[in-house]
Structure 1
């Protein structure tokens, strides 16, 4: 009698922890929403509830099986179904999907607020720049009227500085172009010298490769030196 009472109390506690199994299964089927997959109760050969209270929720095992339209022969299976406890399925899939959806919504909200903030900041900066520009024009006009000679000299200084900067930039660009041209010339000469110095060697390799082509169609005799290998490849292209 005491054993029966204990099992009843244990079952009640487990029911509170594990919830309604049929409702869990209904929630899972509603969540995946696929008509060609059916999740139903899976009866485990062992009754875990009477052996281990920590495994009590295994009394609500759920199997999910595709129909023959989705997986030919699935309906003829007698064992080996995909199954987990209802709580594990909800934790790993259903609840996680809800968490992901909430995170996506939060991210969309954050991005929307960020876009709004960017727009408002742009509007503020536009108004601020216009105000500052208007004030600068007023200050410049006031300066011009109060001290015309100093104002003219300042204007000349600004123009001279602008011309000097443009001249310097043009000079630097010209020097950079000249340096690039010289570097390209040096590379060209080095490549030509490499090819000339190895012309006989390249011919020897090419003759060997051609001779053994029926046996080794993709043979490439120069592999250990990248520069030499590239020059040899170019040599063979020119020969072709």
Structure 2
């Protein structure tokens, strides 16, 4: 028992020494149980493409990251309040009304993404006029469809469970789901090997990029951008591992 305690104390101080030798930063992340391939947070462990990317950055540049997860809207507020040092992911067009009074600095793009509508196979040519019911992940705003929502030509169905949302589409309970397409494909692979749901490219969608951002730690942006350039090959392998840009290979969509 005595030797066990000594060993535990030694390990504790080794860990502290490792942390003390690095710059420690708090990273704000999205509190999604499973938003793979980008991220997953189970209450204790943050994982996925974004975690592996930041682990590689921390190793290369001498950082130690402490991850704190928030629901989307609380993450926006925590970011501008200075409760976190850096945020991942972020985008200049996300929550502009909250960030408008802050000088937010963004990294170079980490990955390209598409937020669009997935529908039953065979309905991928559905027109906007034929779209009556649209599912969304709770907390997300389907911005391309706001005019239709204000005119009440489309009705929204929220669901906090991504797989449950996609199954509603597969069962014909709603016409489609507005969602990040990479996330949709990841979840569908778990229960839909026949690809019964497809991306409806003819409907309005958003093609943009995910970034790392900061307000109060500006020096990290240059370091992170340099890291992205110096490790482009390794990062490309990570993208292939997690299939974060698979949509650009499956559909004729420019990256």
Decide: shared fold, TM above 0.5. Answer: no
TM-score of the pair, normalised by structure 1: 0.17
Q: Higher relative contact order by CA 8 Å / sep ≥ 6: 1 or 2?
A: 2
- Higher gyration radius (CA): 1
